[in-house]
């Protein structure tokens, strides 16, 4: 670690430990003077409804419109907000709802491009769920449209970058506490068919787009993209190649999409990330483990721990650290605002996040719009993570490593 980096870390970590207050500071950031900002949601499926649930916690914003081509989903979305107008078509909403200054796109991945491009062309700030698209062409078109509209905020829905625990963990990862990166492992396990019921049989393919290799990036795309981004963000490195394999281990129901996948990302410094995902077994859920020569950090969405090597130097703050036992290992719980909580004798109360990561991503986006500042997670970040996801999906389909042209990462 260079002196500059170490000094930066000391400044960053001191800030993280003493300043980062999780509640209720962040809603207060959104509490601004003036008219509430009009926000519209496009895509009221399960993720869209989760977004509405988190928006309900924020102040200073008003959901003015909900758009979905499926009447049942649209009505479910409208149940979650008071006074919002419903639309079946995003163009009709952009034309007919001028009070919607920002739109949140939570449609199926392959539908993002026309909506994002139209919204930016109509002068709307955009939050777009990740992956940005299912093809390089669509992904680059979205990133180019965002670049061509510098006055507008474009946020990619890579939630880890707004997650206070992940931000804190990153500061440790980039310090002497973890030291030299050794290896990265990530997993996403859940038990589900990934099949959704359609209101009528004619819409079955539309609803089950995740199972269609023509329009879906499968597990590496829909879940892996967030975890690939964590590795890229923590290391500030880009993969040069992705290997992959996949098979159907449980849901042999005529689908062509693998229900269990493996990917290996090779970074430009020969660091490797192994990613596993399955819809056939849920043990362990979602996590990322980043190993360094002094310690390993395990991230699990709303919690994180550090496991130190026996020969790693002891840090002063470890005296009051909260610890948790994992079989034969003892993890130090990474807690935002730890110094303040420890001084109040309430360290254990800081374990975990008081809101889901989605809340912080939305809060960051709306704050950027309000303050006219760049998004925490930009279109370029979204492009890079999506490029890796697209190559990872190709690697699974081909069963062979896919080289990534570095030019693909540029907008």
323 binds another protein (CB under 8 A): no
Helix (H) or strand (E) holding 1: none
Question: CB 164 → another protein: shortest distance, Å?
Answer: 12
Give the residue from 49, 394, 42, 398 showing the smallest Cα distance to 218: 394
Q: Which of residues 241-280 bind another protein (CB under 8 A)?
A: 251, 253-254
Stretch that binds another protein, among 20-28, 114-122, 264-272, 285-293 (CB under 8 A): 20-28
Strand ranges inside 268-392, DSSP E = 272-278, 286-292, 295-299, 304-308, 323-326, 329-333
From 16, 30, 66, 80, residue interacting with another protein (rule: CB under 8 A): 80
Question: CB 361 → another protein: shortest distance, Å?
Answer: 13
Phi, psi torsion values for 197, nearest 5 degrees: -75, 140
Stretch that binds another protein, among 23-31, 85-93, 96-104, 264-272 (CB under 8 A): 23-31
Query: Rounded distance, CA 125 to CA 133, Å?
Result: 18
346 binds another protein (CB under 8 A): yes
25 binds another protein (CB under 8 A): no
57 binds another protein (CB under 8 A): yes
C-alpha distances out from residue 64 to 27, 77, 79, 363, Å: 19, 12, 13, 17
348 binds another protein (CB under 8 A): yes
Residue with smaller CB distance to another protein, 153 or 335 = 335
71 binds another protein (CB under 8 A): no
Q: Which of residues 144-203 bind another protein (CB under 8 A)?
A: 192-193, 195-197, 199
53 binds another protein (CB under 8 A): yes
Coil, strand or helix at 263: strand
Query: Rounded distance, CA 332 to CA 236, Å?
Result: 24
Number of residues engaging another protein in binding (CB under 8 A): 36
Query: Rounded distance, CA 271 to CA 252, Å?
Result: 35
Query: Rounded distance, CA 260 to CA 168, Å?
Result: 31
From 72, 205, 269, 324, residue interacting with another protein (rule: CB under 8 A): 72
Give every CB contact of residue 410 below 8 A, 6+ residues apart in sequence.
none
Stretch that binds another protein, among 46-54, 212-220, 290-298, 322-330 (CB under 8 A): 46-54
353 binds another protein (CB under 8 A): yes
Asked if the peptide bond before residue 17 counts as cis, ω within 30 degrees of 0, the response is no
Residue with smaller CB distance to another protein, 53 or 374 = 53
Stretch that binds another protein, among 52-60, 240-248, 388-396, 398-406 (CB under 8 A): 52-60
Give the residue from 332, 306, 343, 340 showing the smallest Cα distance to 22: 340
From 135, 264, 302, 315, residue interacting with another protein (rule: CB under 8 A): 302
How many alpha carbons fall within 13 Å on the CB side of residue 11? Answer: 6
Give every CB contact of residue 330 below 8 A, 6+ residues apart in sequence.
307, 323, 324
Residue with smaller CB distance to another protein, 91 or 203 = 203
52 binds another protein (CB under 8 A): yes
What does DSSP assign to residue 301? S
Stretch that binds another protein, among 78-86, 120-128, 239-247, 377-385 (CB under 8 A): 78-86
What does DSSP assign to residue 122? T
45 binds another protein (CB under 8 A): no
Q: What tokens were used for 298? A: 């395990």
92 binds another protein (CB under 8 A): no
**CA 283 from centre of chain:** 21
19 binds another protein (CB under 8 A): no
24 binds another protein (CB under 8 A): yes
Question: CB 119 → another protein: shortest distance, Å?
Answer: 25
Helix (H) or strand (E) holding 87: strand 85-87
Give the residue from 364, 339, 359 showing the smallest Cα distance to 16: 339
Residues that bind another protein (CB under 8 A): 23-24, 27, 46, 49, 52-53, 56-57, 59, 72, 79-82, 192-193, 195-197, 199, 251, 253-254, 302, 341, 344, 346, 348-349, 352-356, 359
């Amino acid at each position: 670690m260079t002196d500059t980096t170490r000094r930066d870390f000391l400044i960053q970590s001191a800030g993280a430990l003493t300043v980062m207050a999780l509640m209720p500071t962040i809603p207060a950031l959104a509490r601004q003077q003036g008219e509430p900002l009009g926000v519209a949601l496009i895509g009221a499926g399960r993720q869209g409804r989760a977004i509405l649930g988190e928006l309900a916690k924020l102040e200073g914003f008003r959901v003015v419109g909900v758009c979905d081509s499926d009447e049942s989903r649209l009505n479910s979305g409208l149940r979650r907000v008071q006074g919002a107008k419903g639309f079946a078509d995003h163009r009709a909403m952009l034309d007919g709802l001028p009070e919607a200054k920002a739109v949140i796109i939570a449609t199926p991945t392959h539908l993002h491009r026309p909506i994002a491009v139209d919204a930016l062309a109509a002068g709307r700030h955009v939050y777009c769920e990740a992956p940005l698209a299912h093809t390089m062409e669509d992904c680059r078109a979205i990133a180019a449209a965002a670049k061509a509209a510098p006055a507008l905020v474009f946020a990619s829905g890579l939630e880890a970058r707004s997650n206070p625990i992940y931000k804190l963990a990153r500061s440790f990862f980039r310090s002497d506490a973890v030291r030299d990166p050794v290896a990265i492992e990530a997993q996403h396990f859940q038990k589900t068919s990934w099949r959704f019921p359609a209101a009528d049989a004619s819409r079955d393919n539309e609803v089950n787009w995740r199972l269609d290799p023509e329009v879906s990036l499968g597990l590496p795309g829909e879940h892996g993209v967030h975890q690939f981004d964590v590795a890229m963000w923590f290391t500030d490195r880009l993969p040069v190649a992705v290997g992959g394999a996949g098979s159907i281990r449980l849901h042999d129901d005529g689908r062509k999409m693998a229900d269990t996948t493996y990917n290996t990302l090779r970074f430009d410094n020969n660091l490797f990330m192994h990613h596993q995902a399955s819809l056939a077994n849920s043990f362990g859920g979602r996590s990322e483990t980043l190993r360094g020569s002094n310690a390993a950090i395990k991230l699990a969405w709303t919690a994180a721990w550090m496991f130190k090597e026996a020969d790693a130097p002891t840090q002063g703050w470890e005296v009051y650290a909260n610890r948790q036992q994992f079989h034969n290992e003892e993890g130090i719980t990474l807690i935002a605002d730890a110094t303040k909580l420890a001084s109040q004798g309430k360290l254990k109360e800081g374990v975990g996040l008081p809101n889901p990561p989605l809340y912080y991503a939305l809060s960051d986006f709306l704050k950027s719009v309000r303050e006219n500042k760049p998004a925490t997670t930009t279109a370029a970040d979204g492009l890079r993570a999506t490029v890796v996801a697209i190559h990872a999906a190709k690697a699974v389909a081909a069963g062979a490593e896919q080289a990534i042209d570095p030019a693909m990462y540029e907008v």
